Structure 1
Amino acid sequence: MIPLHRNPAFYQLLADSYARLLGRPLVPQSMPAGEATEWLYESAPFAVLAHNTDPDPLFIYGNKAAQRRFGYSWDEITGLPSRLSAEAPNREERQQFLARVERLGYEAGYKGVRVTKSGQRFMIEEATLWQLLDADGKQHGQAVVIPRTRDI
């Protein structure tokens, strides 16, 4: 099985659902799916994370920018409960945010405190979270683009 960070079909799910809901492309320039898959994972200047639809959602994707910011390798971040990206006191706010996205399809301009593997706190800013919906409307989880972060 191809890991999701190398899977053009998963990239297409990310990119197509983002474009349908937000009306703009996920990747700034037009490129073939294979090339875009690689660029988003290896070179994107913004973090991208996705989690599945489990009752306690698990990260299934985290590009290199996300791995660097959160301090996890691919093998560590995939399978990690996504709630662990926030400290316990901030998890209720995060859960309310996820519920709004479920109702509305996406939310842009989100900011909140997150935590690295080592426990360092940082602020995510101008994040956009969206539903991972395929062309038939089936939900596969949620994904987020985090364009900016700052240490706190």
Structure 2
Amino acid sequence: MNSIIEFPWQQETIIIHSQHILHSFQHWLGYSLLDVSGSSAEIAQRLFEAPFILASHGTQANPIFNYGNRKALEQWEMSWEQFTSIPSRKTAEAVVQEERDRLLAEAANKGFSYFSGVRITSTGKRFQIDDGILWNLFDDQHQYCGQAAVYSKCKFI
């Protein structure tokens, strides 16, 4: 495995995206997702290795994941390369798509939303998420650039 895929947090684009994730979370929720002391690269590594599951997608009509920390990659049973090439809707079963769409729209309108729900791994295992947070991401120019979600409470069902 090459080091760029094995250690995505070392890529300049991911270091910058990590800052967008953290700054946007702080903006919407009013507190920090994790310790933001140190260099940008150290913070990006800390976010990738965090003990919670974190994922984000872009602004495409059918949004594609553009970030998943190590816990997210493990949860969905995918490599970085696989995870960052699939539409985020593929992680929810068809029967819960309407609720997922409602949640995304709610977060888009007010900046963030709390959620619970069932998702599915790449191998078809279903799991229940509880107490998740979904929030809008913005870049350095304060332009909308996607959404991110974080959670630590989940169980396979």
Q: TM-score, normalised by structure 2?
A: 0.89
Task: Quote the Cα distance in structure 1 between the aligned partners of 2:36 and 2:58.
Answer: 27
Deviation at 1:135, TM superposition (A): 4.1
Deviation at 1:136, TM superposition (A): 3.0
Task: Quote the Cα distance in structure 2 between the aligned partners of 1:150 and 1:74.
Answer: 22
Q: Which amino acid aligns with 1:5?
A: W
Give SS of 1:129's match.
Answer: strand
Task: Quote the Cα distance in structure 2 between the aligned partners of 1:12 and 1:46.
Answer: 17
Deviation at 1:28, TM superposition (A): 3.8
Task: Quote the Cα distance in structure 2 between the aligned partners of 1:81 and 1:10.
Answer: 18
Q: Which amino acid aligns with 2:88?
A: S
2:61 is aligned, of 52, 55, 61, to 55
Task: Quote the Cα distance in structure 2 between the aligned partners of 1:141 and 1:40.
Answer: 18
1:10 is aligned, of 17, 26, 29, to 17
The answer for unaligned runs of 5 or more in structure 2 is none
Percent of aligned positions that are identical: 35
Structure 1 segments of 4+ aligned residues over 6 angstroms from their partners: none
Deviation at 1:85, TM superposition (A): 0.5
- Count residues with an aligned counterpart: 149
Task: Quote the Cα distance in structure 2 between the aligned partners of 1:5 and 1:129.
Answer: 21
Tell me, yes or no, if structure 1 residue 151 matches structure 2 residue 156.
yes
Tell me, yes or no, if structure 1 residue 23 matches structure 2 residue 27.
no
* Structure-1 residue corresponding to 2:39: 32
* Structure-2 residue corresponding to 1:115: 120
Deviation at 1:5, TM superposition (A): 3.2
Deviation at 1:30, TM superposition (A): 3.0
Give SS of 2:142's match.
Answer: coil
The answer for unaligned runs of 5 or more in structure 1 is none
